[in-house]
Amino acid sequence: MAETIQFIFDKIFKRILTLSSKAVINLINGLFGTNYPESSEIAYNWTEFEDENLRKTLADTIVTINKVYSYHMEAQMENDSDIVLREFDYGFQHANREHISTDKYYLLNFPEPKIIYLYSSTPVPEKYVLRLNFGRQGVFDYEVSTFNFLATSLEELNRKKLIILIPFQLLKLRDLLEKTRTPETIEQLKNLIECDILDSINMNLSVGNISQNDARNLFLLTQKLLKHLYAGYPETKEVCDMYDQSLELKWDRYMEQWEKRN
């Protein structure tokens, strides 16, 4: 079950990175502090591998903006100090594919890395450091910064236009609902879905941060993640079934309201 859930997180994260260029550019600007226009060109650099179960997955997610600047984003569910080694390895492989060779030097342009912690049961460091010792040539620190999703307020997520990460807000109650599923905690789940997630999607659609198709996909991804996270508990199954049946109708109502305003 845990492996299936982990696979769902990975698939959903990769899916949101293929939403509209506008939404992905907003994500990059929010995560890396850049200011690319929403019309910027995006190129994807996917690398595939097969694990021991012969399940093909995407190993890394590197996007290039305007054919020049590359960013490596990787979602993580638990604190993993070895991840800095993987980031360096993926970055090196990408840079080597795009290397520049001159008479004087061989240039590797590494993508800027970011680890997005969607959830972690242990504290998340602000950055990881890989120290490279080149002997007499000197020592260089390769740094990989992190983004702690659940430690980021809903207001900041919306301010930074990180809306395409919003389905993962469902992880906010994961620990609580594993321990207790009272009427009060069930109501918290309903409020999280309605106010934090669905209203945020609607608001970002209204102000133009995402497209109609983006909004629809975020509704559907929320539906999928809700089912996988909480449908296994008898106390929350009714909530999951309710939203499983109603999210499409709720989407239609939002679209009717949006079209009237526009």
Residue whose structure tokens are 């993508």: 111
Same domain? For 42 and 98 the reply is: yes
Place of tokens 């909530």: 239
- Is residue 6 situated within a structural domain? yes
Q: pLDDT tens-digit profile of 179-208? A: 888 889 999 998 999 899 999 998 999 899
Is 76 or 143 the better-scoring residue by pLDDT? 143
Do 135 and 224 reside in the same domain of the chain? no
Do the domain assignments include residue 106?
A: yes
Are 66 and 10 within one domain? yes
pLDDT of residue 233: 83
Per-residue pLDDT, 149 = 95
For the stretch 202-240, pLDDT in tens is 899 989 999 989 998 998 899 888 888 888 888 887 777
pLDDT score recorded for residue 98: 84
146 lies in the same domain as 170: no
Residue 159 covered by a domain: no
CA distance 227 to 202: 21
Report the share of the chain in percent with pLDDT over 90.
50
Q: 158 in a domain, yes or no?
A: no
- Same domain for 21 and 108? yes
Range of the domain at 129: 1-151
Task: Say if residue 144 is in the same domain as residue 221.
Answer: no
Tens of pLDDT, residue by residue over 1-13, are 444 456 788 888 8
Distance CA 133, CA 140 (A): 7
Answer whether residue 175 shows pLDDT above 60. Answer: yes
- pLDDT tens digits, one per residue of 128-140: 999 999 999 999 9
Are 16 and 92 within one domain? Answer: yes
Residue 24 has pLDDT above 90, yes or no: yes
pLDDT at 96 over 60: yes
User: Which phi and psi angles does 58 have, rounded to 5°?
Assistant: -90, 120
Q: How many domains does the chain have?
A: 2
In a domain, 239, yes or no: yes
Provide the pLDDT confidence category of residue 32 given band limits of 50, 70 and 90: very high
Q: Which of 112, 128, 151 is the last residue of a domain?
A: 151
Q: How far is CA 260 from CA 35, 212, 247, 256, in A?
A: 32, 14, 20, 6
Separation CA 188–CA 197 (nearest Å): 13
Whether 145 maps to a domain, the answer reads yes
Check residue 58 and give its pLDDT. 39
Which of 126, 151, 176 represents a domain boundary (last residue)?
Answer: 151
pLDDT at 46 over 80: no
The predicted structure's pLDDT at residue 59: 42
Residue 244 within a domain? yes
Domain match, 143 and 14 both = yes
30 and 135 inside one domain: yes
**Residues 208 and 254 occupy one common structural domain:** yes
Q: Is residue 82 located within the same domain as residue 197?
A: no
What separation in angstroms does the CA of 76 have from each of 20, 144, 158, 172, 208? Answer: 23, 13, 21, 15, 29
Question: In this structure, are 174 and 130 located in the same domain?
Answer: no
Answer whether residue 196 is part of any domain. yes
